[in-house]
Amino acid sequence: MSRVRLSFLVFLFSFSLSPAQWTSLGNLDSSRVEGNALLVFSTGRVLTIRLLSPDLVRIRLSRIGETETPATPAVIKSSWAPVRFDMSNSPSSVDIRTEKGTIRVAKNPVRVSFLDRSGAVISRDDNKGMAWDGKEVRVWKEMPQGESYFGFGEKSGRLNKRETHLTMWNTDIPAYKADTDPLYESIPFFYGIRSGKAYGIFFDNSYRSSFDMGKESDTRYSFGAAGGELNYYFFFGPSPKDILSRFTELVGRMPLPPLWSLGYQQCRWSYTPDKRVREIARNFRDRRIPADVIYLDIDYMEGYRIFTWNNERFPDPAGMVKDLSKDGFRIAVIVDPGIKHDPSYAAFQSGSAGDHFLKYPDGKLFIGKVWPGECAFPDFSSSAARSWWGAQFKVLTDAGVRGWWNDMNEPSVFDVPTKTVDLSVIHNDDGRMTTHEKNHNTYGMLMTQATYDGVRRLVPNERPFVLTRASYAGGQRYSAAWTGDNVASWEHLQMAVPMCLNLSISGQPFVGSDIGGFIGYPSGELFARWLQLGVFTPLMRAHSVINERNKEPWEFGPEIEAVNRTTIELRYRLLPYIYNTMHQASQTGIPAMRPLVFEYPEDPESYWNETEFMFGDQILVAPVLWEGATKRSLRLPEGSWYDFWTGKKYKGATRVTVDAAIDRIPLFVRAGAVIPMQPVVQYVGEKPLDSLTFVVFPGKQSTSLYYEDDGLSFAYEKGAYMKRSVVYKEDGASREVVLGKAEGTFKPGQRSVIVKMVDVASKPASVMKGSARLSVISKDEVGKIEGWYFDEVNHEVFVSFSDSRSEISVSIR
Ligand code: MIG
């Protein structure tokens, strides 16, 4: 090729890729303080720096004179206590100092940095700083060496997002891969972590947005959106837990879920007709495989019309649900947003009459094809449409349905090139009448809000269980989330771990992946390993695509069936611990599933560890994610750890290799932990629990909380819970567990408590309960009468007594 032609091509190429025309903030014109905010004027814009708490600041860049509008429905906290701060003004910068750090606004040009108390830079604008180009907004920040990035909600690929480019645009994308982006959900929130210290950023903008975390450059990262304001929150940290608890104070936390939703859930596309549903239920009970929930996918409806039943397949839904509930099953059903464009269909009629559907600017209905054919789409950004939607559930709640699976709510539309609602379509947006471009990413979350509020009004005494595919930051207030249409492959099992972890630390603790893989068929080994991981994902649901062979836990031969039974039994044995962990998440935002970097940010080995995680405060999970593995090597963080299965004690901050035969998922418990467990049941509420076991792993002094309630109603909000502290301590040769005095008005039935202590070298000389010396009983008497038993083979002591509300101290020496 001639030089002339080549340079001509280069010219053409560079022309077509002409870089965006960014205008960055220039020099400061003026600034002033208004209440808890500093206003900085520059380049025709106003930068508002508002202190919400000493460790949380909101940064908002807008056109001068434009009124402030709440960006999205994510933020629910609007009133904050006044924050004490000092301000200093120098020729080069304005500094705002709180007890947690400093926000420094350089003046020429205007650039923002965040410093810690000692004056060291945590994060600062790059020389490009904040900029705009037409409707687009973006900010560039310096990317220090060794800084890693986590969070970003539901993303596939590796846990650590350094050197990746991520887009937020809710998308229906079956069989996604490690590098597929975007996916179904948008949570524009992340952590930057280096040298053990973290900060957080929440970019609250629902337009299509993107985060370039050092893919384009080695020295800076950036985030921005196709429209809306440059509006973000900066969290000073410095611990990831501080950040997440503050973030979830801002956007809200998961309400306490019903206990049954933490049981095993069985799904497929589709269990139909009613006979097949009953058959599945019968199989679980006959085979003694515990389960709580069976799902109905889209085929239960009449021609995919939401809020209807197909009378041939389900002639008596209420009768079926009632029979199954006698057997301990809850039924969950799918609901999609698309309402069939059918003038003879009640939901279409009432939705049209109430003007609840999305329309083009000229007033024409937006119609798009989904499963039912041509559909209208509810405008969930309108509170009137949300209440209309919520009221439609009556036909389903009346039949006894109690689980609400919200699918296709990106929203997904089959026959439009954009695969979603046309971007020019208008949403009510609380009266602001904005485009789909702005409301796309929040559509799914607002659908879950409409669903949650609606069923809560219809069944006011029960906690709703909602599961969604699409959502936005704060969506945990209404719904659990699953990671969409995955594949029955080892790669997808591996991917499920970092996906669920990043979602969890993005504010959504109630997560899980389709166990066994949705698309394709797993080997028995893959299914068994996935189910084991499922014990330690808060949502434990197996699912399958249509036209695939049966995938229930008994479909892989007797050996795997036995393994699967024991796996699900482990889930039920751990339910008290799991429920306590979810209670903690509902109170603090700290999720059940935590990456090691979240728990141990000062450990450099944790930054790339995406095959292990903490489940709650005490259990380290090292799932087997590789075909044919019979051993698992893993890193134990600092401290001392017990192998949950063998009781063997390990010193941490090292790698170990343990057995991981097909029936074993490696688990480690922090020394000093007390884990509440219960006997196996076939479903939640099968029978009153006759015993509660506290398994003690001796070690450092520890204090934890034990929480319990009816698991179903909202009575706990009025004090109907039972809460007590659990303290473990050692004093010389004596090891003591103290169950604190019970608080709250909830009264569990009569039951025995068993304190089971592992790692007891030899038969104790004495076991005391308070000041009473207990006598030795036999193994069979444990849980039945008061006394203690020493298992000399396993080196365990069992102390048995009946539960009471007063303080109980047990000491073993
Ligand atoms: O276009 O309802 O992710 O779990 O089984 C597919 C049928 C629609 C997608 C969901 C999947 C569900 C399926 N749905």
Inter-residue contact 421 to 368 (CB < 8 Å):
yes
Residues for the chain: how many in total? 813
Residue 775: per-residue pLDDT: 98
Q: For the domain 259-337+393-410+423-582, what is the CATH superfamily, name and number?
A: Glycosidases (3.20.20.80)
Residues 6 or more apart from 481 whose CB is under 8 A from it?
A: 154, 185, 467, 468, 469, 471, 475, 503, 508, 510, 511, 539
Please report which residue ranges of 464-602 form alpha helices under DSSP H. 490-504, 524-535, 558-573, 575-588, 596-599
Residue 70: per-residue pLDDT: 66
Please report which residue ranges of 341-430 form alpha helices under DSSP H. 346-353, 383-391, 394-398
Report how far residue 545's alpha carbon sits from residue 484's, in angstroms, rounded to the nearest whole number.
11
Residues 6 or more apart from 176 whose CB is under 8 A from it?
A: 156, 183, 484, 485, 486
The CA 401 to ligand 1 mean position distance, Å, reads 19
Tell me the pLDDT tens digit for each residue of 414-463. 999 999 999 999 999 989 999 999 999 999 999 999 999 999 999 999 99
When pLDDT is averaged across residues 741-747 and rounded to a whole number, the result is 98
Question: Is 410 one of the catalytic residues?
Answer: yes
Say what percent of the chain tops pLDDT 70: 97
Inter-residue contact 506 to 531 (CB < 8 Å):
no
Closest ligand 1 atom to residue 297 Cα is 2
Report how far residue 570's alpha carbon sits from residue 324's, in angstroms, rounded to the nearest whole number.
24
Residue 13: per-residue pLDDT: 44
Residue 144: per-residue pLDDT: 98
> Of these residues, 410, 429, 612, 643, which one is catalytic?
410
Q: How confident is the model at residue 242 (pLDDT cuts 50, 70, 90)?
A: very high
Closest ligand 1 atom to residue 412 Cα is 1
Closest ligand 1 atom to residue 545 Cα is 5
Return the CATH architecture of domain 22-142+197-237: Sandwich (2.60)
Classify burial at 732, counting beta carbons within 10 Å of its beta carbon; exposed 0-12, middle 13-18, buried 19 or more: exposed
Tell me the pLDDT tens digit for each residue of 504-544. 999 999 999 999 999 999 999 999 999 999 999 999 999 99
What are the pocket residues of ligand 1 if the criterion is a CB atom closer than 6 Å to any ligand atom?
A: 269, 297-298, 334, 407-408, 469, 484-485, 518, 543
Q: How confident is the model at residue 69 (pLDDT cuts 50, 70, 90)?
A: low
Average pLDDT of the residues of the chain: 96
Residue of 171, 185, 269 to mutate, ligand 1, most atoms within 8 A of C-beta: 269
| Domains of the chain, residue spans | 22-142+197-237, 259-337+393-410+423-582, 688-812
Report how far residue 792's alpha carbon sits from residue 760's, in angstroms, rounded to the nearest whole number.
9
Q: How confident is the model at residue 1 (pLDDT cuts 50, 70, 90)?
A: very low
pTM passes above 0.85: yes
Beta strands in 678-805 (DSSP E): 691-696, 702-709, 721-731, 734-739, 752-757, 767-769, 772-773, 787-791, 796-802
**CATH, domain range 688-812:** 2.60.40.1180
> For ligand 1, atom 12, which residue shows the shortest CA distance?
269
Tell me the pLDDT tens digit for each residue of 246-305. 999 999 999 999 999 999 999 999 999 999 999 999 999 999 999 999 999 999 999 999
Closest ligand 1 atom to residue 270 Cα is 5
When pLDDT is averaged across residues 630-649 and rounded to a whole number, the result is 97
- φ, ψ (nearest 5 deg) of residue 491: -60, -40
Instruction: Classify 494 as helix, strand or coil.
Output: helix
When pLDDT is averaged across residues 571-590 and rounded to a whole number, the result is 98
Question: Is 485 one of the catalytic residues?
Answer: yes
Residue of 333, 375, 407 to mutate, ligand 1, most atoms within 8 A of C-beta: 407
Res 86 pLDDT > 70: yes
> For ligand 1, atom 6, which residue shows the shortest CA distance?
408
Residue 65: per-residue pLDDT: 84
Inter-residue contact 548 to 522 (CB < 8 Å):
no
Number of C-beta neighbours around residue 87 at 10 A: 12
The CA 679 to ligand 1 mean position distance, Å, reads 35
The CA 267 to ligand 1 mean position distance, Å, reads 11
Q: How confident is the model at residue 67 (pLDDT cuts 50, 70, 90)?
A: confident
> Of these residues, 212, 379, 485, 643, which one is catalytic?
485
Closest ligand 1 atom to residue 371 Cα is 1
Inter-residue contact 489 to 496 (CB < 8 Å):
no
Bridge partner list, 138: 131, 224
The CA 280 to ligand 1 mean position distance, Å, reads 20
Residue 18: per-residue pLDDT: 55
The CA 736 to ligand 1 mean position distance, Å, reads 52
Let me know if the fold of 259-337+393-410+423-582 is the same as that of 688-812: no
The CA 467 to ligand 1 mean position distance, Å, reads 13
Closest ligand 1 atom to residue 370 Cα is 1
> For ligand 1, atom 8, which residue shows the shortest CA distance?
408
The CA 403 to ligand 1 mean position distance, Å, reads 16
Q: How confident is the model at residue 214 (pLDDT cuts 50, 70, 90)?
A: very high
The CA 407 to ligand 1 mean position distance, Å, reads 7
The CA 304 to ligand 1 mean position distance, Å, reads 12
> Of these residues, 407, 599, 617, 709, which one is catalytic?
407
Closest ligand 1 atom to residue 485 Cα is 3
> For ligand 1, atom 11, which residue shows the shortest CA distance?
485
Which own/partner pairs from 363-370 qualify as long-range (CB within 8 Å, at least 24 positions apart)? 365/341, 366/421, 366/422, 366/425, 367/341, 368/338, 368/413, 368/414, 368/415, 368/416, 368/421, 369/413, 369/414, 369/415, 370/304, 370/336, 370/338, 370/408, 370/412, 370/413, 370/414
The CA 271 to ligand 1 mean position distance, Å, reads 13
Give the DSSP H or E segment for 463: none
Question: Is 116 one of the catalytic residues?
Answer: no
Closest ligand 1 atom to residue 298 Cα is 2
Residue of 408, 513, 514 to mutate, ligand 1, most atoms within 8 A of C-beta: 408
Residue of 294, 300, 409, 485 to mutate, ligand 1, most atoms within 8 A of C-beta: 485
Residue 68: per-residue pLDDT: 64
